Structure 1
Amino acid sequence: MRRRTGLAMAGAAALAWGEWLNWRWSRALVGNSGGTAEAVVVLGYRNPQATANVINRWRVRAGIRSMAADSASGTRLIFSGGATTGGAAEAQLMSDYATSVLAFDGTVLLEDQSGTTWENITNVIPLLEDVDRIKIVSQPAHALKARAYLRRQRPDLAERLVRADDYRPGEWMVVKPLLALYGLWTLRGLQAGERKPWL
């Protein structure tokens, strides 16, 4: 009985830790930029099959729900990701899912040459020059890494970063501890100031 209680407490602690860390990452390097023109950048995940995989499908849904209701008509949805496995580009697969499955009929732009997160940011910069607010959508650790890269490449554009709706309490809860561990590993190259919430 004691062992079961201990395991249950350890499991609950792991879930709470994963939830907290993902919540924290979702609030790092974002501000309160105003204005009406908005860009939502959805980063792709390696996708060997001919249709969007479960991770890319979730990212598309998170991107669409990240669009501010009061500026939806002035928002561009940017899918970023090249063909990392020899098939179709991640950006194209995500766009196809958004338009054909989710019936999204807003403005969609594709960046289909990137093979890394650094390239994602480099290649979408020309599509962000004239917007007031920028949202980057992915799992929280990956989105934070991308925001840090934008800050390094174009600090002026990074001032326009605002929160996306890619973190929700309880969503992906069972795997959030694993996402948190993986995130700690992938974010090891970030500076301390790039990990702290601005808000």
Structure 2
Amino acid sequence: MRWRAGAAIAGALVLGWGEWANRRWSRALVGHGRGVSEAVVVLGYRNPQATANIVNRWRVRAGLRSVTAHSGDTCVIFSGGSTTGGASEAQLMADYAKSVLGFDGTVLLEERSRTTWENVTNVIPLIEDVDRVKIVSQPAHALKARAYLRRQRPDLAKRLVPADDYRLGEWLIVKPLLALYGLWTLRGLEDDERKNSL
């Protein structure tokens, strides 16, 4: 009986840590932003099949819910090249957004990127004229992209605002694993890039 209580407490602590880490990363390196025009940049994930995989489908949904409801001047940018020679990640995500989710807003595609650094580099020309920029992915990955934008274009990084890619309880069971992976993937960030993160 006592070991069950201990296991339950340990499990709750692990789940709580996963929630805390992901929430914190989702709020790091962002400001409040001003203005009405915005770009929601959705980063792709390896997608060998002919339709959007589960990770890219979730990222599309998170991207679309990140669109500010009252903003009539929003574009959604899907970013990611092809890793298999077929359709690009960007195209697969755009197809899912339009045909399955019924999104009819402005969509732009960035189809050359194969790494997060390239995602950021290649979307810069598409976000230079907007007031607010939201980067959507799993929270640690989005933080990494925001840090890369700060390195490449500090002026544009000042326009970063939070996306809706963190929700309490969403992906609850896998959040501790995402947090562990996040710690590994964020190890290359500088101290000042981590100042608002873990």
Interval of TM-score (by shorter of Structure 1 and Structure 2) = over 0.9
Residue 127 of structure 1, CA deviation: 0.2
Q: Deviations over 1:60-98 (max 9, x none)?
A: 010000011111x21000000000122210000000000
* Alignment-derived partner of residue 124 in structure 2: 125
Query: Contact 1:25–1:195 at 8 Å: present in 2 too?
Result: no
Task: Report the Cα offset of residue 196 of structure 1.
Answer: 3.0
Instruction: Give unpaired runs (5+ residues) of structure 2.
Output: none
Which AA in structure 2 matches 1:94? M
- How many angstroms does 1:197 deviate by? 2.8
Moved >3 Å (runs of 4+): none
CA displacement at 1:28 relative to structure 2: 0.4
Question: Could you say which residue in structure 2 is the equivalent of 1:87?
Answer: 86
Q: Deviations over 1:90-109 (max 9, x none)?
A: 00000000000011000000
Would you say the 8 A contact 1:30–1:197 is kept in 2?
no
Q: Which moved more, 1:187-196 or 1:115-124?
A: 187-196
Matches within 5 A, 1:42-81: 42-71=42-71, 73-81=72-80
CA distance in 2, matches of 1:196, 1:88: 38
Partner of 2:143: 144
Q: Match for residue 19 of structure 2?
A: 19
Task: Report the alpha carbon displacement of residue 50 of structure 1 after superposing the two structures with TM.
Answer: 0.3
Could you tell me how far apart the structure 1 residues matched to 2:110 and 2:129 are? 17
Q: What is the alpha-carbon distance in structure 1 between the residues aligned to residue 19 and residue 191 of structure 2? A: 20
Task: Tell me the matched-pair count.
Answer: 197
Matches of 2:170 and 2:192 in 1, distance apart?
Answer: 27
- Residues of 2 paired with 1:38 and 1:16: CA distance? 32
Aligned mates of 2:19, 2:116 — CA distance in 1: 23
Shift of 1:192: 2.2
1:31 alignment counterpart: 31
**Alignment partner, residue 178 of structure 1:** 177
Q: Distance in 2 between matches of 1:104 and 1:195?
A: 35
- Residue deviations 1:148-176 (CA, integer Å, cap 9, x gap): 00000000000000000000110011100
Q: Unpaired runs of 5+ in structure 1?
A: none
Contact 1:15 1:177 in 2 (8 A): yes
Kindly state the Cα deviation for residue 2 of structure 1 after the two structures are TM-superposed: 1.4
Q: Please say if residues 29 and 194 of structure 1, whose CA atoms lie closer than 8 Å, have aligned partners that are also in contact.
A: yes
Partner amino acid, structure 2, of 1:5: A
Tell me, what secondary structure is at the counterpart of 1:173?
coil
Q: Counterpart amino acid of 1:22? A: N
Distance in 2, Cα, partners of 1:196 & 1:62: 25
Please report the TM-score for the alignment, with normalisation by the length of structure 1. Answer: 0.97
Q: CA deviation at 1:6?
A: 1.2
Q: What residue in structure 2 maps to residue 103 of structure 1? A: 102
